[in-house]
Amino acid sequence: MTVNPFVLVDDLAKTYGATAVFENLYFTIGKGEFVCLIGHSGCGKTTILNALAGLEEASDGVILVGGREISGPSLDRAVIFQSHALMPWMSVLDNVAFAVRSRWPDWDKAKRRAHALKFIELVGLGNAADKKPAQLSGGMKQRVGIARALSIEPKMLLMDEPFSALDALTRGTLQDEVLRICHQTAQTVFMITHDVDEAILLADKIILMTNGPGAVIAEIVVNTMPRDRNRADLHRHPHYYRIRNHLIEFLVDRSKQFDRSTFDPRKPKFTTPGLDTTTEEKQP
């Protein structure tokens, strides 16, 4: 735990009328850390991400980024939307250049294009720069969304189930690329997913949320696997199944019946299931 975390979420809550979607959320994200949020549908994950992005206001609590309270959206926090959210009337290049221009309004057109192209090539779409989004596959569109987010060189990336609409094969390659790019650039990332394997591959920390209404953070799983992991031999590492079983067991059983009696929301419990050798005996 860093003393001065990059992102600090303090006592965040969202209520509609009398019902709280989630409450008492407290967590931190360190600089360069990759954090995944897992929870069942409707527990308020998107709302949390939108609050971090500044697109939506929480009902209670504060979010500090870099020590300052956020007040609305910022170019420092780029969002990768679940539905890619590309402008269909613009080419791939124009979509990215649109973002580049927002960040650096003084740049001339040539400089904007060159900068945008660099990031389009980074996600492997150099040949498709002049295509319209409608001419691209789902995976390619999501890559453009990633290129657009990275192109403004944000301090942090926010991703809302970015790969959930993709087929397994495309999802795999994109996960590998995101992992590579984020480690190369030491990006700080907050990502929502409901794919346990995706979380284990990408995240340094995995935040587990209980079911709503009144959802809270049940625990934060620390990923103890080496950081230079990749998808191909992830499952060979001994920590992998321990973490995976722990997460699945949480999603299946404990997310519903979470015991709040011994629970202090301000000190979410950190667990390291990867180091726990006692679970092995339970396996068949």
Partner 1 sequence: MISSLRLRAAIVSTALLAGFLLLWHLATLGTGVVADVDPEYARLMGATAVAGKSAMPGPMEVLGKFWWHLSHPFYDNGPNDKGVGIQLAFSLVRVLGGFGLAVAVAIPLGFLIGMSPLMHKALDPFFQVLKPISPLAWMPLALYTIKDSSASAIFVIFICSLWPMLLNTAFGVASVRKEWLNVARTLEVGPLRKALQVILPAAAPTILTGMRISIGIAWLVIVAAEMLVGGTGIGYFVWNEWNNLSITNVMNAILMIGLVGMALDQVLARLVRLVTYPE
Which residues here bind partner 1, judged by CB under 8 A? Answer: 53-55, 72-75, 77-79, 81, 83, 85, 87-90, 98-99, 102-103, 132, 134, 152
* Positive/negative CA dihedral, 5, 265, 39, 251: positive
Of 36 and 80, which has the nearer Cβ to partner 1? 80
Classify strands 156-160 and 77-80 as parallel, antiparallel or unpaired. parallel
Of 38 and 178, which has the nearer Cβ to Mg ion? 38
Closest distance between ligand ADP and the C-beta of residue 215, in Å? Answer: 8
Report the 10 Å Cβ neighbour count for 88: 9
Closest distance between Mg ion and the C-beta of residue 46, in Å? Answer: 3
Report yes or no: 125 and 146 within 8 Å, Cβ to Cβ: no
Distance CA 231, CA 248 (A): 19
Report yes or no: 244 and 198 within 8 Å, Cβ to Cβ: no
Closest distance between ligand ADP and the C-beta of residue 155, in Å? Answer: 23
Distance CA 121, CA 150 (A): 12
Report yes or no: 13 and 61 within 8 Å, Cβ to Cβ: yes
Distance CA 23, CA 243 (A): 26
64 binds, among partner 1, ligand ADP, Mg ion, none (CB under 5 to 8 A by kind): none
Q: Which part of the chain contacts Mg ion (CB under 5 A), choosing from 9-17, 39-47, 122-130, 274-282?
A: 39-47
Structure tokens at 161: 């189930």
Distance CA 202, CA 191 (A): 9
Of 82 and 255, which has the nearer Cβ to partner 1? 82
Residue 171 burial (CB < 10 Å; 0-12/13-18/19+)? buried
Give, as ranges, the residues between 21 and 60 that touch ligand ADP (CB under 6 A): 21, 39, 41-47
Of 1 and 134, which has the nearer Cβ to partner 1? 134
Contact between 270 and ligand ADP per CB under 6 A: no
Report the 10 Å Cβ neighbour count for 76: 15
Contact between 115 and ligand ADP per CB under 6 A: no
132 binds, among partner 1, ligand ADP, Mg ion, none (CB under 5 to 8 A by kind): partner 1
182 binds, among ligand ADP, partner 1, Mg ion, none (CB under 5 to 8 A by kind): none
- Segments in 11-91 forming alpha helices (H): 45-53
Contact between 16 and ligand ADP per CB under 6 A: yes
44 binds, among partner 1, ligand ADP, Mg ion, none (CB under 5 to 8 A by kind): ligand ADP
Structure tokens at 276: 């726990």
Q: What is the dihedral of CA 57, 58, 64, 70, to 10 degrees?
A: 10
Q: Which part of the chain contacts Mg ion (CB under 5 A), choosing from 45-53, 59-67, 115-123, 143-151?
A: 45-53
41 binds, among ligand ADP, Mg ion, partner 1, none (CB under 5 to 8 A by kind): ligand ADP
State the residues that interact with Mg ion by CB under 5 A. Answer: 46
Site residues for ligand ADP per CB under 6 A: 16, 21, 39, 41-47, 212
